[in-house]
Structure 1
C-alpha cells in the first residue's frame, strides 16, 4: 500500500475513529485501526466489538492495499505533524508501515487485516433522517440521567422510541433514568420512524454520536434493526450494538396528579442551590431542603460536622408550609437543562416524585425523587 494525503484530512478522520479503541485490549488487533486504500480514497475503521466507526478521506493511492496499525499511536503522530503537511504511508515491507512527512519518519508495526473484526450490520427494518440539531437536543437533554450501575444494564443508555403524544402527535422520544431522576425529551417523529421498536442506545455510543454532532450540520441518517443501530453523518458511519433488555415503564413513575405548582427564576435558584450545598455532606447524600412559606422559598443544608447554610428566594407558590428535600447534585443537573428564565416545579407531597420543566414547555420534562431531610 502506498498512499499520500493531507495531514488535516487524516487527523480529522483519526479523531473520529480512534476514540472507540480501548487503551487496554485482550486482543491486540482491537488496538489497531484498519487502513484500506483503493482508487482515490483511504478508508479508516476502528472497533471495540460493540461500536464500529468507519470514515473515508480523499487520498492519492499509488498502490492499493490494506493493513492495520496501532490507532492511538498513529493519531498522536499525525496530531503532532505540521498543519497542512503532506503524509505518505507505505507498507511495501509488509510487517511495518513507513509514515513520512517532511523530515519526519516513523516505522509502525502492522498486524494482518485478516483477523480484524467486522461488526456485521444485518438487516435494518427502519430507516429515517433527522436534523442534526434535533438529535443533538434529544441527547443533550437526557444523557445526564443515564445510569452507571452495571447490575441494571438496561438503564446504561438512552431509550428511543416513536410514540403518539396527546399534545404533539407522533413524536420521537428519548428517555434516560438512573432510578433517582428521569429525563424525557420529544421531537417531531421523522418520516420512516413510525412503528420503530423501543431501543436502548448504550452510553458510550451516545457519547460518540454526541461528539460527531458537535460541529456538524444537515441531517443524520439513522437505521435501526433489532440488535443494532447505524448513524451516517457525511463520510462518517457509526455502527453500534444495542442494549438487550427491557427499559422500565417510565410512564408509571411520571407523576400525573402533582397539583402544587412553584415557579422560580432558574438562574437564581441554581446559584442558591450551589451555594448552600457547599457545606453539604457527601455521606448525607448532598441533601438540600426546600421550605416554602409566604411567597418565599428557603433553601437550607444541615451538616453535623460543618454547620448550616440557608438562603431565601422569591417564588410563585400557592401553597404555604410545604417542605421537601432533594439531592443537590441531581437538582443542579436538572436545572441545567432548563432553557427558559423560569423553572416550573410540580409537587404532590414530600415523599412523592417531583416534576420539573421549562415554563410553558411540553417537549421536555424531568422527574426527581425526593430525599428525607
Structure 2
C-alpha cells in the first residue's frame, strides 16, 4: 500500500473514527484500532467496537493498493503535528510496520493482521428508511439525550427514543425524574413507522460527527437491532437497546393549577444563585413559591445557611409552593432558547416547561418531596 494524503484530510479521517477506535482503553485487540483500506480507487478509514461501527472516505492518491490495521493511541496526536502538508503512508503486504512520512519526519507504526479486523457492514435495505438533515438531527439529539438515565439497572432509560411517524420525527429521553421531548417535521413522510431506542453514548458520538455549518442530508435506515446513518462521506452503524420504551405521552401533564411566564435569563440566574447552597446538600432542593407577580426561590444547607431570591413573572391561576431539583431546572433552561419560558404546574405534580410560543420542545420535571 502506498498513499499520498493532505495532512488536513488525513487528520479529518482519523478524527472521525478515533473515538470508536480507542474505545477499549487501547488494548490491542480486534475490537480496537482502525483499518486503513485503499481498494477500488477509494481510501477508507474504519473503526468498529460492535456497539458502533464507523466508516469514512478520505480523499487522496492511491499509488499502490492495500490495507493496514493500526491500534496506536499516538497516531492522531502525531499526524496533527507533522511538519508537512503532504503525507506519505506506505506498507508492504509482508511487513508488520506502516511507515508515515511528512517533511523530514518518519514514523514506523506497528500494525496487526487486517484479517482480524471486523469490517463495518453496509446495511442497504431495512424495514424502515427516512431522510432528514444534519442540523435537524443534531438539534433533536442535543435537546433530549442529556435527560437519559445513567443507572445500568434500567437500560431502556439509558437511551433516547426515536419515534418517526408520518411527516414527524420525535426524540424523547427520560430518567423517570425528568423528560425531554423534541419534534421536527420531515420533508418526505416515512412509509413504515420507526421506533427505536439508541444508547445515549452512541448518540453523543453521532452528534459530534454531524456537520452544522451547512445542512447536509442524513439517511437513516433501520435493520434488525441496528440503525444505519449516512451523511456526506461518513457511514455509521449503531446498535439499539432492546426492550419497550414506556408511553411517554402519558406522563406529559395537561391539567395545571397555574401558568407562569418568566424571562429565561433572569430565571436562570436566580436558579444558579440558589443552587450555590443547594448543590452541596442532598438532592439539590430549591423551594419555589409562585404568586403575587413574582417567583420566590429559597434553598438551604443545614451546615452553611439559607439563600432567598425573587424574580418577576406573569402568572395566571392559583398561587402555589413546590420544590424541584435545581440541577434539573438548570438543565432544562440551558436547552430553552427563547427570551421567555412558560412554566405550567399544579400542587405536587410534574411541571411542564416550554419556550414561549414554541411547542416543538417539551420539558417535564417531577417535584421533590420535602418535610
- Provide the TM-score with structure 2 as the length reference: 0.94
Cα deviation, residue 192, structure 1: 5.0
Q: Is the 8 A contact 1:2 1:90 kept in 2?
A: yes
Offset of residue 372 of structure 1: 2.2
Cα deviation per residue 1:166-209 (whole Å; 9 max; x = unaligned)? xxxx4111000111110001111342524323101111221111
Does 2:92 align with 1:91? yes
Bigger drift between 189-198 and 92-101 goes to 189-198
Aligned counterpart, 1:64: 65
Q: Is the Cα contact below 8 Å between 2:46 and 2:120 reproduced in 1?
A: no
Q: 1:362 aligns with which of 341, 359, 366?
A: 359
1:149-180 alpha-carbon deviations (Å, 9 max, x no partner): 1111111111111246xxxxx41110001111
Q: Tell me the residue number matched to 1:167.
A: none
> Which whole-Å CA distance do the structure 2 matches of 1:174 and 1:146 have between them?
11
Specify every segment of 5 or more residues in structure 2 that has no aligned partner in the other structure, as ranges. Answer: none
Match of 1:183 among 169, 180, 190: 180
Partner residue, 1:243:
241
SS in 2 for 1:150: coil
Of 312-321 and 152-161, more deviation after overlay is shown by 312-321
Mapped partners of 1:215, 1:93: distance in 2: 43
Counterpart of 2:264 in structure 1 is: 266
Query: In 2, are the aligned partners of 1:267 and 1:341 still within 8 Å (CA)?
Result: yes
Q: What is the SS of the residue equivalent to 2:4?
A: strand
2:314 to 307, 313, 316: 316
1-side partners of 2:209 and 2:39: how far apart?
Answer: 25
Given the alignment of the two structures, is residue 6 of structure 1 paired with residue 6 of structure 2, yes or no? yes
Question: How many angstroms does 1:25 deviate by?
Answer: 5.7
Deviates more, 1:83-92 or 1:208-217: 83-92
SS of 1:67's partner is: strand
Asked whether the equivalents of residues 95 and 109 of structure 1 are also in contact (C-alpha less than 8 Å), the reply is yes
Equivalent residues of 2:280, 2:301 under 8 A apart: no
Pairwise CA distance, 1:303: 0.9
CA shift digits 1:194-226 (9 cap, x unpaired): 432310111122111111124453211111123
TM-score (norm: length of structure 1): 0.93
Give the distance between the partners of 2:28 and 2:110, measured in 1 at CA.
15
Once the two structures are superposed, the pairs formed by residues 1-373 of structure 1 within 5 Å of their partners are: 1-21=1-21, 22-24=23-25, 28-82=29-83, 84-91=85-92, 93-122=94-123, 123-163=125-165, 170-215=167-212, 217=214, 218-349=216-347, 351-373=348-370
CA contact under 8 A between 1:147 and 1:156: conserved in structure 2? Answer: yes
Counterpart of 1:3 in 2: which secondary structure?
Answer: strand
Report how far residue 119 of structure 1 moved.
4.5
Preserved CA contact (<8 Å) 1:287 1:326: yes
In the TM superposition, what is the alpha-carbon distance from 1:140 to its structure 2 partner?
Answer: 1.6
In 1: Cα distance, 2:217 partner to 2:280 partner: 43
Paired residues in the alignment total 367
Distance 2:196 2:93 in 1: 45
Counterpart-to-counterpart distance in 2, 1:370 and 1:360 = 24
